[in-house]
Amino acid sequence: MTIDTVAPYLLLALGLIIGSFLNVCIYRLPRDESVVWPSSRCTSCGRALSWYENIPVLSWVALRGRCRTCGAGISVQYPLVEAITAALFVGGYFAIGPTPLLAARLLFACAMVVLFAVDLEHFILPNEITLPGTVVGFALSFWLAPGWQSSLIGLLVGGLFPFLVAEAYARLRGREGMGMGDFKMLAMVGAFLGWPMVWLVLILSCVLGIVIGGGALVVSRRGLATRIPFGTFIALAAMICAYGEAPVLGTYERIVRAYLTWAGLA
């Protein structure tokens, strides 16, 4: 049995365990609660959970999505976050390989999972994730891709360019287009992925926001001025680019080359 055979299963188990911790972060960070103390409890009756009620995915299935004591429903978000985190860990292994960069990408993936879920529910992007994440992403770039220069430009581009555009929009339209949390999140994305990728993340997140967010507003018959959780789409776009960097860049280059040819500029 080789490491290539065992590694995916180890990462699957690790992803499930870390996904359980990410659920704690998703629930507690928006409420300004500690993510390490107290231990996990039922959010309805407050009873501390036993170890066998904290087994990722399996406990939720065994309990049929309800607290053993009070019978209150347990959100399906919990097993979903655990399963998605495990899938990202295994997927990262096959996309990136057993290299030091894999650890950085998995750390980045964990941050994106938390930001995705928190923004989707609360329309906030916690500074506890974005600010340390930017520092960590830049620090890692001294040893790993994309390199410190690309990382530095990426965090500046990710944080400053959207801010200037949003500021101009706010002055022209008299209302906010993007929140400060979005700029901080994009700075973090730039620090981890570098300046070429942060542009693609910004473009792709806008497309996803228009297609998915706009479509949801149309279906729900809510006004187009309704606020959408843009950080959720940034997280989706960032994971697509982080795990498929070469194919994404290649597709982007082909689109640009085709456009320049069509426009007679190439």
**What does residue 95 show for φ and ψ, rounded to 5 degrees?**
-80, -35
Instruction: Express as a percent the part of the chain with pLDDT over 70.
Output: 86
The residue that leads in pLDDT, 14 or 69, is 14
Cα separation, 145 vs 101, in Å, equals 7
pLDDT reading at 176 higher than 80: no
Cα separation, 181 vs 111, in Å, equals 14
The residue that leads in pLDDT, 64 or 254, is 64
Cα separation, 42 vs 60, in Å, equals 12
* Other residues' Cβ atoms within 10 Å of the Cβ of residue 129: 21
pLDDT level of residue 165 (50, 70, 90 thresholds): confident
Q: Give pLDDT, residue 184.
A: 92
pLDDT level of residue 47 (50, 70, 90 thresholds): confident
Cα separation, 156 vs 136, in Å, equals 15
Burial class (CB within 10 angstroms; exposed 0-12, middle 13-18, buried 19+) of 163: middle
Residue type, 167: E
Q: Which of 149, 102, 155 is nearest to 132 (CA)?
A: 155
- The ranges assigned to domains in the chain are 1-98, 100-266
Q: What is the mean pLDDT of residues 23-30?
A: 96
Cα separation, 35 vs 191, in Å, equals 25
Cα separation, 98 vs 87, in Å, equals 16
Q: Give pLDDT, residue 36.
A: 87
pLDDT in tens, 70-124: 888 899 999 999 999 999 999 999 999 999 999 999 999 999 999 999 999 999 9
Q: Which of 9, 103, 89 is nearest to 1 (CA)?
A: 9
Cα separation, 223 vs 122, in Å, equals 19
Q: Give pLDDT, residue 247.
A: 76
pLDDT in tens, 178-233: 678 899 999 999 999 999 899 999 999 989 988 887 666 655 555 545 567 899 99
Q: What is the mean pLDDT of residues 112-138?
A: 96
The residue that leads in pLDDT, 111 or 170, is 111
Least confident of 6-10, 68-72, 133-137, 253-257: 253-257
